[in-house]
Structure 1
Amino acid sequence: MISRFNTVTSFGRVISVRGSLARVGILAPGEMPVSDLRATVGRFISIRCATTTTIVAMITEVTCEHQLSSDEYIATASVDLLGEISGGERAKFQRGVTNYPTIGDAVDLITAQDLRTVYAPSGSDQINIGNLQQDRSVIAYVDVEEMLSKHFAVLGSTGVGKSTSVSLLLNEILQARPNLRVFLLDVHNEYGRCFGDRALVLNPRNLKLPFWLFNFEEIVDVLFGGRPGVPEELDVLSEIIPMAKGIYTQYQNSDRIGLKRMDPRSGGYTVDTPVPYRLVDLISLIDERMGKLENRSSRIIYHKLISRIETVRNDPRYAFMFDNANVGGDTMAEVVSHLFRLPANGRPMTIMQLAGFPAEVVDSVVSVLCRMAFDFGLWSDGVSPLLFVCEEAHRYASADRNIGFGPTRKAVSRIAKEGRKYGVFLGLVTQRPAELDATIISQCNTLFAMRLANERDQALLRSAVSDAAANLLSFVPSLGTREVLAFGEGVALPTRLRFKEVPVHQLPRSEATIASVPSVAAGHDMHFVSAVLDRWRGATSNRDVPSDPGGGSDRPAAARLMTPVEAPMLQPSMGLDPDRFSLLKKPLR
């Protein structure tokens, strides 16, 4: 019977083919080394076709329960056909199979040389993250472009080396892409020392995130401490905030060009337009309305609202939001430049340490940061790419719509669905993928799965992996520390690998918050930021804006990115003297 096939000693032979699947009869040991007898799940094999092509497949099942009647085979194995090596001396690997095997084709365990061909770096965008578990001499590379542009996720239970792996990936990405900006949400304050002088570390003590950058849902969440707002008070706020923005803008303009005072209602701002306003104006407007009420019982709503605002304003934990809340000054350009490293000034990465923030406002702060990251990418046409890494992602984008803060989930989801079009990439890190919104994780096309013991987490992972070798996931509960199954566009093949050792100074560890505030960005980049902000604001206000005189776009002029000639004409406001607005210190009666 053996004479019908290739007489060269082989590991086995193809006995059936169906689509991307095949079955292999494993031959009796013969003269094969003992090491070659370990035909088990996860090992790669090569199938020698009649052409010069070698098909690469992976064993997904081995059994001796359904052996053929002949004694020729000691077991049978099911394999997934993954790709093929062709090209002779200049061998090259490609995914997919163009030449299918036939019955009787010889099968061997893949050689180290073939593995190196499969995982050989195809360009400068490849980063070295570790070694194959099957053959430690073969380096595992990841394609940075594919990993970033189509988002990625790192999944794993606590204690499996997840944080260390994130540090490794981000350090390698920064080395390969020095001009890429990275923003990391550090939930447990453990990454502060992992990136040396390449990262700016922010925390409540050195962060300046003005309250007027929060949209309506976010500021309500802050004022009501994460609880649902009182409808009557929300109605008042939704009417008063746009008026407060109009008051600030009209006095700013009147001081500059001598305009008469106008009705603040005609400003055309919405509650979500990111322009400054002052708390003193907000409270004065509420007080003015309260003074016009004849029924004293109706004034309770206004008293409570003022009390909420004053309580939060005077809470020292909220100083990062309300510091200089009554001084004024349009600092949005400086804030955006500082947060998202424009220019980077040698520090392309921002680490936002969240452990020191009041628990009631963490969700709102994350929502603001995600939303601003996406909106800046949108209104800058993605000219400065940003990687937004979300640690403990299930906390902000829960699968249960009744848990968490809706705007935060919406902001993360927006980056996941549309961010790649505007140069905003997403990296998710979570220990409970089953609790993460399935729509969001489905947008991540490169997955690094470390040990997961929970059955629900494993089930979600199985549904998210589209590769033919999804059977590899049976290894997930038994993976060792630093071991990972890598799937998706960023890797050549679904692979079980081991992350390489991380230098001691890059190891994450919980620590006290680090205060390091560099000087505010200056130079021509500020004009670029200001031009983007003009478009951004124009998209969220309903003022009459002249059309683009160039006729090249249907966007209003305020929503059009300025040319290098126009950009220097837009000067950001660097702060205003509060004494100029003494009239606003008095209640409006």
Structure 2
Amino acid sequence: MSDITSMARVIAVGPDLIEIEVTSTDEYEQLEDKLEIGSYLKVSDENGSSVVALVQSFRIRDIVANEQGTEITTPKFILSTQPVGRLENGKFRRGGKQITIPPKRVEIATSDLLREIYDTTPEAKKFSFGHLVQDPNVAVSLDGDKFFGKHIGVVGSTGSGKSSTVAAILQEGVKASNGTSKPGALNNSHVIIFDLHGEYSAAFPDATVIGVDDIKLPYWLMNSEELEEMFIESNEQNSHNQVSQFRRAVIENKERHNSGSTGKISYDSPVYFSLAETVNYLTHLNSEVVSKLPDENLPKFANGDLVHNRADHYFEPVKGFVEQSQSKTDKASSGPFNGEFNRFLMRLEGRRGDKRLDFLLNPMKTDDTPYQTEDLPDLLRQFMGYGSPNSNVTIIDLSGIPFEVLSVVVSLITRLIFTFNFHFKKYRTRGEAELPYLLVYEEAHNYIPQSEGAKYGSVKRAIERIAKEGRKYGISLMIVSQRPSEISETVFSQCNNFVAMRLTNPADQRYVKRLLPDSLSAITDSLPSLERQEAIVIGDSIVVPSLIKVTDIKDLPDSHDIDFHTEWKKEWLDVGMKEIVETWQG
């Protein structure tokens, strides 16, 4: 500890501010440990109480004169510091009582004291992914349970090292421990990464990677919101009719194909229904003609058959109806939805004919048969880490997913994991092992935006529900974004831990400062000037808000920027256009 009491005196004490005057710059210059913005000081009183304070700023004293009025040629300067915690019996505690006025002793915190501060985390819970910027010898330890068990926000502009920081955090989090039953056995960590740009597979060589060619998400897994977002335009004049009849057709078709089910089947039940048969049903409704002859007043097919129950006929291949007529002998008029669904049916058929959406609308098992209700456990295993083989990390590669269904895919997987863990908690016996999942949303502003809109309605509600309720069921979020101001505030406001890297956009800087749970301007004001892989870590999991340098890792995400000028200086590159186009065209 560097005692600077002889040259420094406390001149002001407040709840959030301690001002210290350095009276001898000559003496200060002889110190081996120099102060800088972000350095820590220990301020003590005569009763032995000590406060740890963070240097926020300094200024030259306005009046350079002694008490007799004689001009002083050597300037003095004043440090503005912010208390961050107290020392009790050698242990650091956040917040707490203030020191007795006036304090008597001022010391520069040494590496040993800083290590003591971060060593307050219990050994079994310690988790670290970096060291202090101002002292590389001090590893910053967090409480792993409080970090992963409470939602995390990771923000930073392009080029700040955000992706490698996420990888460093996750690699350390899932690292094999000594608690596994046998060497090489997997631990119980479960991480699912929604990878928008396909960059994280390089960082996790043992992960299960599921891309558009591998993933199977049958449409019948969707709930009402996802189905309607997929197929119905909410701004169309007759959208309410589309919703009501599509809902009826889906429910009745689910009952048709799951007659042996013991539970009550609803619109949201994850059981099989035939989309083709549902389209048949709506096509019949769209061309329906009702006979107005005495004792009939029912839809009537061209062959003379009356339709007493639509569900008995309309799921079958499309048949024609009798002609509309005002004649007494064959009087017939259009049904209530005749001509209502022309655009709706065109949209349905367009979606079904889009081969890019086969993973949703026409996924097949290895025997070329469609997935049925009884296949739900296998469908869940693929992205929950229980495939063949099992895996701690599952990467959902979204780079090949058509953007128009991206939000539906993220919503569907998110909701299925939440629902599974909801029922898992009810199924398990209290005291048995838990099943904790961390869901990582890379570039989250692309599918949980601040703005309202039907296009993002289902995914926002799915993720917002986990943000508010997920921890009760063992699900935590990591929200990663370069534009935090564009993300749903409902989600970000539930984050208890933040890893904030360099942010250059003023709107994003203001937004993040407003969200951060600790108002430490000495740290947060450095957001626009942080170096690559430097991060401000604030939240419940860390004993004191800290500016850290993230640990270098061997397996990096494939997210490096192209060095334009360097590449331009190289010889001309011959590109195989034909091969690339063939890959493009599939």
Query: What TM-score do the two structures reach when normalised by structure 1?
Result: 0.76
- Residue identity opposite 2:422 in structure 1: L
Matches within 5 A, 1:4-19: 9-10=5-6, 12-19=8-15
For residue 55 of structure 1, the aligned residue among 26, 30, 51 is 51
> Secondary structure at 2:10's aligned position in 1?
strand
Partner of 1:472: 523
Indicate conservation of the 8 Å contact 2:52/2:86, yes or no.
yes
CA distance in 2, matches of 1:502, 1:483: 14
For residue 180 of structure 1, the aligned residue among 181, 189, 194 is 189
Partner of 1:527: none
Indicate conservation of the 8 Å contact 1:152/1:447, yes or no.
yes
The change in CA–CA distance for 1:328 and 1:391 in structure 2 (over 3 A counts) is: closer
CA distance in 1, matches of 2:99, 2:506: 36
2:398 is the alignment partner of 1:354:
yes
The change in CA–CA distance for 1:226 and 1:424 in structure 2 (over 3 A counts) is: farther
Matches within 5 A, 1:521-560: none
2:123 is the alignment partner of 1:123:
yes
The change in CA–CA distance for 1:226 and 1:59 in structure 2 (over 3 A counts) is: farther
- Residue identity opposite 1:309 in structure 2: L
Partner of 2:217: 209
Matches within 5 A, 1:381-392: 381=425, 383-392=434-443
Query: Could you tell me how far 1:9 is from its partner in structure 2?
Result: 4.6
The change in CA–CA distance for 1:277 and 1:473 in structure 2 (over 3 A counts) is: same
CA distance in 2, matches of 1:128, 1:431: 23
Bigger shift: residues 211-220 or 168-177: 168-177
1:408-448 Cα shifts (integer Å, max 9, x gaps): 11111111111111110000100011111222112111111
Indicate conservation of the 8 Å contact 2:128/2:139, yes or no.
yes
Partner of 1:322: 361
Partner of 2:137: 137
Matches within 5 A, 1:230-241: 230-241=239-250
For residue 429 of structure 1, the aligned residue among 480, 483, 489 is 480
1:231-284 Cα shifts (integer Å, max 9, x gaps): 43223212211111111111x56xxx9xxxxxxxxx953322222111233133
1:303-357 Cα shifts (integer Å, max 9, x gaps): 5444433332232111111225884521222111221124785412110011101
Partner of 1:571: none
> Secondary structure at 1:45's aligned position in 2?
strand
Matches within 5 A, 1:223-372: 223-224=231-232, 230-250=239-259, 252=260, 268-290=264-286, 292-294=288-290, 295=333, 298-323=337-362, 327=370, 329-330=372-373, 331-342=375-386, 345-372=389-416
CA distance in 1, matches of 2:455, 2:75: 57
Indicate conservation of the 8 Å contact 1:44/1:110, yes or no.
yes
- Residue identity opposite 2:505 in structure 1: N
Indicate conservation of the 8 Å contact 1:446/1:488, yes or no.
yes
Indicate conservation of the 8 Å contact 1:10/1:108, yes or no.
no
The change in CA–CA distance for 1:441 and 1:180 in structure 2 (over 3 A counts) is: same
CA distance in 2, matches of 1:334, 1:44: 54
The change in CA–CA distance for 1:11 and 1:479 in structure 2 (over 3 A counts) is: farther
Query: Could you tell me how far 1:491 is from its partner in structure 2?
Result: 1.6
For residue 75 of structure 1, the aligned residue among 74, 77, 81 is 77
Query: Could you tell me how far 1:510 is from its partner in structure 2?
Result: 7.8
Partner of 2:574: none
Partner of 1:407: 458
CA distance in 2, matches of 1:67, 1:80: 24
> Secondary structure at 1:369's aligned position in 2?
helix
Identical columns (%): 27
CA distance in 2, matches of 1:423, 1:354: 24
Partner of 1:454: 505
> Secondary structure at 1:406's aligned position in 2?
helix
The change in CA–CA distance for 1:369 and 1:133 in structure 2 (over 3 A counts) is: same
Query: Could you tell me how far 1:104 is from its partner in structure 2?
Result: 4.1
> Secondary structure at 2:123's aligned position in 1?
coil
Query: Could you tell me how far 1:160 is from its partner in structure 2?
Result: 1.0
1:502-539 Cα shifts (integer Å, max 9, x gaps): 11x3333489xxxxxxxxxxxxxxxxxxxxxxxxxxxx
Indicate conservation of the 8 Å contact 1:354/1:362, yes or no.
yes
Partner of 1:502: 553
Indicate conservation of the 8 Å contact 2:271/2:372, yes or no.
no
CA distance in 2, matches of 1:328, 1:343: 17
RMSD, aligned α-carbons: 2.8
The change in CA–CA distance for 1:309 and 1:401 in structure 2 (over 3 A counts) is: closer
Indicate conservation of the 8 Å contact 2:189/2:436, yes or no.
yes
Indicate conservation of the 8 Å contact 1:371/1:411, yes or no.
yes
Partner of 1:107: 106
Query: Could you tell me how far 1:358 is from its partner in structure 2?
Result: 1.1
Partner of 1:419: 470
Query: Could you tell me how far 1:73 is from its partner in structure 2?
Result: 7.9
2:418 is the alignment partner of 1:380:
no
- Name whichever structure is richer in helix by fraction: 1
Partner of 2:319: none
Query: Could you tell me how far 1:403 is from its partner in structure 2?
Result: 8.0
The change in CA–CA distance for 1:403 and 1:230 in structure 2 (over 3 A counts) is: closer
The change in CA–CA distance for 1:8 and 1:337 in structure 2 (over 3 A counts) is: closer
Partner of 2:201: 192
- Residue identity opposite 1:293 in structure 2: V
CA distance in 2, matches of 1:496, 1:67: 34
Long gaps (5+) in structure 1: 1-6, 258-266, 512-589
2:155 is the alignment partner of 1:155:
yes
Indicate conservation of the 8 Å contact 1:226/1:361, yes or no.
no
CA distance in 1, matches of 2:453, 2:288: 39
Give the count of matched residue pairs.
487
- Residue identity opposite 2:154 in structure 1: V
The change in CA–CA distance for 1:227 and 1:350 in structure 2 (over 3 A counts) is: farther
Indicate conservation of the 8 Å contact 1:221/1:227, yes or no.
no
Indicate conservation of the 8 Å contact 2:5/2:106, yes or no.
no
The change in CA–CA distance for 1:166 and 1:34 in structure 2 (over 3 A counts) is: farther
Query: Could you tell me how far 1:404 is from its partner in structure 2?
Result: 5.0
CA distance in 1, matches of 2:506, 2:176: 36
Query: Could you tell me how far 1:405 is from its partner in structure 2?
Result: 0.7
Query: Could you tell me how far 1:145 is from its partner in structure 2?
Result: 0.7
Query: What TM-score do the two structures reach when normalised by structure 2?
Result: 0.77
> Secondary structure at 1:506's aligned position in 2?
coil
- Residue identity opposite 2:348 in structure 1: I
For residue 482 of structure 1, the aligned residue among 522, 529, 533 is 533
- Residue identity opposite 2:257 in structure 1: Y
Bigger shift: residues 352-361 or 40-49: 40-49
> Secondary structure at 2:525's aligned position in 1?
helix
